[in-house]
Structure 1
Amino acid sequence: MMRLRLAAFVLLLTIVSAAQAFTIEQIRIRGLDRIAEGTVLNYLPLEVGDELDARRSADSVEALFDTGFFDDVSLLRDEATLIVEVDERPAIAQIDFIGNSQIDNDRLREGLTGAGLGEGQSFDRPLLARIERELEQQYFALGYYDVDIESTVSPLPRNRVSLRVDVEEGEPASVQGIRFIGNRGFDADRLRDVFEMGAKPWWAVLSQRDKYSRQRLSGDLQRLRAFYRDRGYADLSIDSTQVTISPDRQRINITVNLDEGQQYTVGDIELAGNLIYPEETLRDLIEIDSGAIYNQRNISRTVEAIQDKLGERGYAFARVNPVPDLRAAERIVDMTLFVDPAERVYVRRIRISGNESTRDDVIRGELRQYEGTWLSTSDLSDSESRLGRLGFFSDVSIDTPRVPGTTDQVDVEVDTTERLSGSLRAGVGFGSDQGLLLNLGIQQDNVFGTGDRAEFVANSDDADTVYRLSYLERNHTMSGIDRRYALSFRDRDADEADLADYGVKTARGSYGYRIPVSDTDRLGADVTFEDVSLDFADPTDFQEDFQARNGTSNRAILTDLSWTRDSRDTAIFPTSGARQRLGLAVALPQVSDIEYYRFSYEQSRYLAISERFTLVLDGTLSYGNAYGAGERLPFYENFFAGGIRTVRGFEANSLGPRDENDDPTGGNLRALGRAEIRFPLAEDEDGNNLRFATFVDAGQVWDRERDSLDYKSDIAFSGMRFSAGLGLVYYSPIGPFTVSVAEPLNEKDRDDTQRFQFTIGASF
């Protein structure tokens, strides 16, 4: 209608003005309310001194209409004065959305603003109708085919309007079936398994599998292409996809028409271009073999491996282009990998952001990429892993933007998100193993941003009272050696821990160093002074024997030597890498009342099964003994197994040898193992602190020195105890919360089992 009015006006103006062309001496604007006169003059293609004729009149009216500011435009003449009379469109004062849940307000508002209907812009009713249809299409893309959108425009003072968009989303249409036409190599059921979308099983009440969206369908078609091309079908094509909806708009059926083509094997593999390395070096990275079934995934891995290798020498933007040559008659694919290293790239500056507490020099000390050197992808990866292992950050990302105006320089931008590194804890918890937990703790893992760690802990449960004060001084020397001090006191009532009836008080003071020998390896050396006091109510045979040999008070000076290799990607819930620790504590002769040693080896490996699932493999081997003539490892230094920290499903400390009162005594040899699959229950930020797990635990304790005790049998795999179950770990604000439900798999008559175990609050 508006364009018809414009055309009629231009026709009239042409007829009237043909004999009335004139030179403009002055321009006046009438009808403005909100819009500035200068804005109109800026869009008007006329100036004082121009000659106005029919053609220029038509161009001027159209130019003002095209601004979208006006409902009507008229050009009038008063002698040599041009009068531009306009009727402003109302301005949009506010936009409200009612009833939308699947698409949030911000997304809807952005869509309207981008189309010219944002708050503060001029209102255009015909455009509103088109936008309503566009919003419907957005809902259709999400599977909401029964959506109804209505808009209400309400006038406001000062030539303004408010816009209300009511959305009745209805119920989403569900996918009922997926058909495949043209598949010969694989049946329809196998191809449906490739899709994340499809008919929902009757038992999967909470599943979103049957929820349709165009994005999900597009992703599934990509997965289908990858499935075929990973199995040799290099020339697969998906010819068409039909999506049909039932009359009630509640059920969707999908038909995929495809042409599988032929299954190919790999022929010749050639490397071309500027290889940088010797050809054999790059050939070792190739994950496809001549004669094997063509596999697109392995080709992609090969490309990434070669790019990473080139990136180690500064060719961070290298391109590797795999060019297949299909010999259809022979069903063979010859592959040529064209290598273009591009220019070698150097690092101009390293910029660090997000570290509100941690000092820059602490972060730079962990980086293996330096300014002024060529960019190395391996050094960047190592840097990111080292920062993650600090435990100071919940997220670390490293980006390498090019320096503007250059082709061979980048900046390294290290963006960190700090987690709370300090805590003041005072609380109450409960554990199935420990009973009531009382804890007071002050801990700072990043003292004044230096990376130093200070800790004071006072904890108590049914069996133990513990006080501990420690300080770790990072980078005590320029070579990166850390220094550690620690004082501790522990008062244990063994009877409350379901062990023999005795008490032991242990006071310790230690001083030592942590010495880096590589990016992942550290040596530890500590000297510890230990004072032990024993209290026996009704000593057992082996306790009487110990008391007769050593009395109830003993002192020792121990040297603790350790080696740690840590290649985990992060300290909290790692998904890749490993951690190993080898430790040896020896009570020094002559200066110690009891001469003994304790050896331990621990390892944890983390393997990413998928983006969300991580396989964790843990193992521990511990052994201790005395080295003085006729002496034995002190019984209070024995190893124990059973409980939520070692073998779930069995009571804490219950496995292994027992005394004449059938109380566990522990032993001088322990073996533990665990296989666990972890995954987050949520994909949002809370998921960073929460993991669910399914596991199998194994463990046992033996005593190789005391002939009178049970379980002094030959060490055999058959003596191990096994359990399986489900677990959950949550790092809550008051401390870790751990729960497990485990079923013992091979319990014996004298074993104490406990299928449900949990602990809340700080553990020690």
Structure 2
Amino acid sequence: MKKQFKRLRVRTVSAVAALVFAANTWAVEPFTVRDIRVEGLQRVEPGTVFASLPFRVGDQYNDEKGSAAIRALFALGLFKDVRLETQGDVLIVVVEERPTVADVDFVGTREFDKDTLKKALRDIGLTEGRPYDQALADRAEQELKRQYINRSLYAADVVTTVTPIERNRVNLTFTVTEGDPTKIRELHIVGNKSFSESTLRGQMELNTGSWLSWYTKSDRYSRTKLNADLEALRSYYLQRGFLEFRIDSTQVAISPDKQDISITINITEGERYVVSGVRLEGDFLGREEEFKSLVKIKPGEPYNADQVAETTKAFTDYFGNFGYAFAQVEARPEIDHANNRVSFVLAAEPSRRAYVRRINISGNNRTRDEVIRREFRQFESSWYDAEKIKLSRDRVDRLGFFKDVNVETSDVPGAPDQVDLNIAVTERPTGSLQIGAGFSSAEKLGLSFAIKQENAFGTGNYLAVEVNTSKYNKTIAFNSTDPYFTPDGISRTFDIYYRASKPYEQQGGDYRLNTAGTSLRFGVPFSEVDTVFFGAGLERTEIVAGTNIPAAYLAYAEQFGTTSNTLPLTLGWSRDDRDSSLAPTTGRYQRLGAEWGVAGDARYIRGNYQYQQFLPLSKAYTFAFNGEVGYGTGLNGQPYPVFKNFYSGGLGSVRGFQQGTLGPRDITGSSIGGPKKVTFNFELATPFPGAGNDRTLRLFGFVDTGNVFAEDQKVSFADFRASAGLGVSWLSPVGPLRIAFAQPIRTKPGDRIQKIQFQIGTSF
């Protein structure tokens, strides 16, 4: 019998055409499929095709199943043509594969890094080894144009070139003509009466250009930046009593050549209102007086939206301290238009108490969960406590392992009295390469080097190895701290070190001060912010005589010998309630330490106290103060050991002077430090231009003053040195970096000046 042959064919370039397959093909009499063959495959596995078919050998085939098969195969995105043929009771699937992308390249892209663009295309499925899809290529082209518009490059043009090569592959090339950036030439604010246009424009990030625009790009239009500026304008007015202020419209006009932009903002100020009174309504848990003490709104003063927001937040947080996580607080204004006065009703509904079901942690790809959880004072299955949650968040931030720590509360479906806490952290590199250097035209370059890991292997332990191979100061030191040596938070610190040093300026001498030792210290937490430290050590100090040895060292060696063995005991206390250890904006840090040489050749006591205070002047500006005093004296009739002296000058004390060169000098002119030290530092940190309110990059101005004094010398402000200057702090990938340019403003003859200094791994 002659074999019947019927062909079903669909020519299409999209999966949409497959949806009308049944209406545009010859009808096929249903039959039982005896065999299925696939033709046209090059790289796709046959199993991929068979898995997508809605029938198998032995199943009944009909037109409906054929349409479903074609839709499923097109949905894979692997084929640009699919057709079905029947040969008797054999079904033949004929496919034409899409070409594979062999390479993706970018030409003319200066604004963006090529690797970044390739990663972005990889995320949408357009990358080497994937099937080529014209729709994805078009989408990528439009996305590139959009990104250039966001960078104010409105004239940018993107052309996609598809080049077929052997083995059914294609090369994709995106050729970009970036052009010049479109800049803001005009920026006008219309409708202002109470404030000048220049004052209002000063609240905005966008402007018509300044001397720093090459870096800040503030003259490049961005819709996101404009929206932020409009909110800044709104906030400016609402902080000054303009309760009914509104922005009527914003016009953005671009020139025909796409090089200039004009922005016009139309506003209505409204009347200025004064607060006439505040009253409470609702359920305040019988603690009305406590809540009243939290009110920031001040009757008799102009309306201030920030004060209203601070008050409602303070109320909500205070309710949270008693477990009311869902408390609703509303500040309802009652406006007296005739007299331009407004009173506020603070209505509160505590709702229901809640407890924390689960604490979820995310973002800690390296740090172990237990390192974060052991800092939490809010526990799972306990009543929700907003104060403990804030304390927990601050404790995690003070670890110094994370750039950001955010805590959010989410409802538990089906459990109205439960919440989950979601802790999202952003890790920062905790291994650091510590480099210190200073330079001046009169002095040589000074260097120091160390490697440390603050979060070794994600355990929260601290490990450090310091190696200094400079000509005048050689150091080998190892330090290890386990902050949770015991489960209840007692820390253990172990040190072993060897140092060989001499004053910087005695370059021709060959004497040495060799110190080797080891110590073991423990830290016991007595409260959430207070820790007491105690420990003991063994130390051996050797004065190696040589040329240009300071007279103070030589005199000590002649009286007590060149080698001193000491058993020092240490006792200390610290209190830290800063909001962050890396970039604090509020809180204080105090540290008191004492070292007592109880046995051995050197008998002495040595103590120092440090106090730091951080005051947020605004959301962006922080004032910081650092004070440090030190004092040492000899015991049992012995003088204070010269090798235990304090030093001053340089980063960490009085900037602008060479490191460790302030204070007493002996008859050879060598800086030998002293047993008394006083240092004061004042800093004002501001956002770095163009960096917004980024805590990791800040500009600061500073004033330093202080000195060290001999044992028989009176501490006198007349002998203080002082300097002032500017600096930049950056939480870099290799550690906290501070660069300072200091101008000494109070000097004495013989002082060694060093105006430019930088160091990685320091604070003050």
TM-score by length of 1: 0.75
Pick one of 270, 281, 285 that aligns with 2:279.
Answer: 270
Query: Paired residue for 1:40, among 19, 27, 34?
Result: 19
Give the conservation status (yes or no) of the 8 Å contact 1:463–1:496: no
Distance 1:250 1:728, change over 3 A: closer
Q: Contact conserved, 1:91 with 1:122, CA < 8 A, in 2?
A: no
Larger CA deviation: 676-685 vs 392-401: 676-685
Give the superposition deviation at 1:259: 2.3
Deviations 1:698-747 (A, max 9, x none): 121122x33xxxxx35x333332111223355677777765433211121
Q: Give the structure 2 partner of residue 572 of structure 1.
A: 582
- TM-superposition CA deviations, 1:556-578 (whole Å, max 9, x none): 32221111112233333444433
Partner of 2:352: 343
Name 1:696's counterpart in structure 2: 703
**Equivalent residue, structure 1, for 2:313:** 304
The one of 387, 390, 403 aligned to 1:378:
387
Aligned to 1:626: 634
Between the aligned partners of 2:141 and 2:499, the Cα distance in structure 1 is 71
Is 1:365–2:387 an aligned residue pair? Answer: no
> What does residue 608 of structure 2 align with?
600
Q: Within 5 Å, which residues of 2 pair with 1:132-143?
A: none
Q: State the shift of 1:351 in Å.
A: 2.9
Query: Does structure 2 conserve the Cα–Cα contact (< 8 Å) formed by 1:642 and 1:653?
Result: yes
Change (3 A) 1:42 1:308: farther
Query: Identity, % of aligned pairs?
Result: 34
Between the aligned partners of 1:195 and 1:455, the Cα distance in structure 2 is 45
Please list, as runs of the form range in 1=range in 2, the aligned pairs for 1:7-156 lying within 5 A after superposition.
Answer: 31=10, 33=12, 40=19, 146=155
| C-alpha deviation, 1:370, in angstroms | 0.5
Q: Match for residue 3 of structure 1?
A: none
Q: Please state whether the residue corresponding to 1:225 is helix, strand or coil.
A: helix
Task: Return closer, same or farther for 1:679/1:509 CA change in 2, 3 Å cut-off.
Answer: same
Q: Hey, what does 2:94 align to over in structure 1?
A: none
Secondary structure of residue in 1 paired with 2:722:
strand
How far apart, CA to CA, are the structure 1 residues paired with 2:216 and 2:364? 40
Contact 1:462 1:497 in 2 (8 A): no
The C-alpha deviation readout for 1:324-371, integer Å capped at 9, x for no partner, is: 111011110011122233332321122334445544333321111101
Is contact 1:434–1:463 with CA below 8 Å preserved after alignment?
A: no
Q: Deviations over 1:133-169 (max 9, x none)?
A: 9998997787555566788999999xx9999997756
Say whether 1:652 aligns with 2:659.
yes
Residue among 164, 179, 197 paired with 2:188:
179
Q: Letter of the aligned partner of 1:525 in structure 2?
A: F
Q: Report the residue type matching 2:664 in the other structure.
A: P
Deviations 1:189-222 (A, max 9, x none): 2222122222213675444222223333332222
Question: 8 Å contact 1:500–1:664 — kept in the other structure?
Answer: no
- Secondary structure in 2 matching 1:745: strand
* Cα distance in 1 for residues equivalent to 2:435 and 2:119: 45
Partner of 1:754: 754
Instruction: Tell me how far 1:674 sits from its aligned partner.
Output: 1.7
Shift in Å, 1:622: 0.9
Task: Decide which of 517, 523, 530 is 1:508's aligned counterpart.
Answer: 517
Question: Equivalent residue for 1:233?
Answer: 242
Instruction: State whether structure 2 residue 305 is matched by structure 1 residue 326.
Output: no
- Cα pair 2:704 2:722 within 8 Å, conserved: yes
Instruction: Give the whole-Å Cα distance in 2 for the aligned partners of 1:440 and 1:575.
Output: 28
Give the drift of 1:656.
Answer: 1.8
Check conservation: 2:435, 2:449, Cα contact below 8 A: yes
In the TM superposition, residue 693 of structure 1 has moved relative to its aligned partner by: 4.1
- Secondary structure of the residue aligned to 1:526 is strand
Quote the residue 1:469 is aligned against. Answer: 478
* Distance of aligned partners of 1:108 and 1:42 in 2 relative to their CA distance in 1, 3 Å threshold: farther
Residues 438 and 754, structure 2, Cα contact 8 Å, conserved in 1: no
Corresponding letter in the other structure for 2:395:
R
Q: How big is the shift at 1:412? A: 2.4
Cα drift, residue 302 of structure 1: 1.3
TM-score for both structures, normalised by structure 2? 0.75
* Deviation (angstroms), 1:231: 0.7
* 1:162-173 alignment runs, 5 A limit: 170-173=179-182
Aligned CA distance change for structure 1 residues 474 and 131 (closer, same or farther; 3 Å): closer
Q: How far apart are residue 372 of structure 1 and its match?
A: 0.3
1:67-120, CA deviations, whole angstroms, 9 ceiling, x for partnerless residues?
Answer: x99xxxxxxxxxxxxxxxxxxxx999999998788799799989999xxxx998
The 8 Å contact of residues 91 and 161 in structure 1, kept in 2 or not, is answered as no
Secondary structure (helix, strand or coil) at the match of 2:670 reads coil
Counterpart secondary structure, 2:285: coil
Residue 630 of structure 2 contacts residue 677 of structure 2 at CA under 8 Å; is this kept in 1?
yes
CA distance in 2, matches of 1:508, 1:571: 29
- The 1:502–1:169 alpha-carbon spacing in structure 2 relative to 1, beyond 3 Å, is closer
Q: Counterpart of 1:659 in structure 2: which amino acid?
A: D
Instruction: Give the one of 354, 361, 382 matched to 1:352.
Output: 361
- Per the alignment, residue 4 of structure 2 pairs with none
Aligned twin of 1:726? 726
Cα–Cα, structure 1 residues 340 and 105, in superposed 2: closer, same or farther, change >3 Å? farther
Partner in structure 1 of residue 43 of structure 2: none
Any conservation in 1 of the 2:517–2:540 contact (CA below 8 Å)?
yes
Provide closer, same or farther for how the CA distance between residues 651 and 371 of structure 1 changes in structure 2, counting only shifts above 3 A. Answer: same
Q: Would the aligned equivalents of 1:470 and 1:487 in 2 still touch at CA under 8 Å?
A: yes
Aligned residues between the structures: 683
1:583 aligns with 2:562: no
Match of 2:680 in 1: 673
Q: SS at 1:304's partner residue?
A: helix
Give the whole-Å Cα distance in 1 for the aligned partners of 2:341 and 2:260: 43
Deviation at 1:230, TM superposition (A): 0.8
User: Does 2:204 match 1:189?
Assistant: no
Note closer, same or farther for the CA distance 1:135–1:517 as it changes in structure 2 (3 Å cut): closer
The alignment status of 1:391 with 2:400, answered yes or no, reads yes
Contact 1:483–1:514, Cα closer than 8 Å, also in 2: yes
2:232 aligns to what SS in structure 1? helix
Letter in 2 for 1:670: K
Q: Which of the residues 266, 270, 282 maps onto 1:261?
A: 270
State the Cα distance separating 1:688 from its structure 2 match: 8.3
Q: Bigger CA drift: 262-271 or 447-456?
A: 447-456
Pairwise CA distance, 1:530:
2.7
Deviations 1:295-342 (A, max 9, x none): 111111112221222222222333322111110111100111222333
SS at match of 2:331: strand
2:259 match: 250
Tell me the amino acid that sits aligned with residue 605 of structure 1. Q
In the alignment, the residues of structure 2 paired with residue 420 and residue 107 of structure 1 have an alpha-carbon distance, to the nearest angstrom, of 22
Instruction: State the Cα distance separating 1:248 from its structure 2 match.
Output: 4.3
Q: Is residue 638 from structure 1 mapped to residue 645 from structure 2 by the alignment?
A: yes
- Deviations for 1:461-492, whole angstroms, at most 9, x for unmatched residues? 23333233343333333332122333323222
Task: State the distance in 2 between where 1:515 and 1:217 align.
Answer: 52
Q: CA–CA distance in 2 between the matches of 1:122 and 1:752?
A: 69
Cα shift readout 1:662-684 (whole Å, capped 9, x = no counterpart) = 33332221111222345676999
1:222 aligns with 2:231: yes
Is the 1:175–1:253 contact (alpha carbons within 8 Å) kept by the matching residues of 2? yes
Q: Report the equivalent of 1:86.
A: none
The DSSP-based 3-state class of the residue aligned with 2:665 is: coil
Unaligned stretches of 5+ residues in structure 2: 1-6, 28-73, 76-96
Q: Closer, same or farther in 2 for the Cα pair 1:726/1:137, shift >3 Å? A: closer
- One-letter amino acid of the structure 2 residue matched with residue 463 of structure 1: Y
| Deviation of 1:660 (Å) | 2.6
How much is the aligned-residue C-alpha RMSD, in angstroms?
5.0
> Offset at 1:422?
5.5
Q: Distance in 1 between matches of 2:123 and 2:332?
A: 41
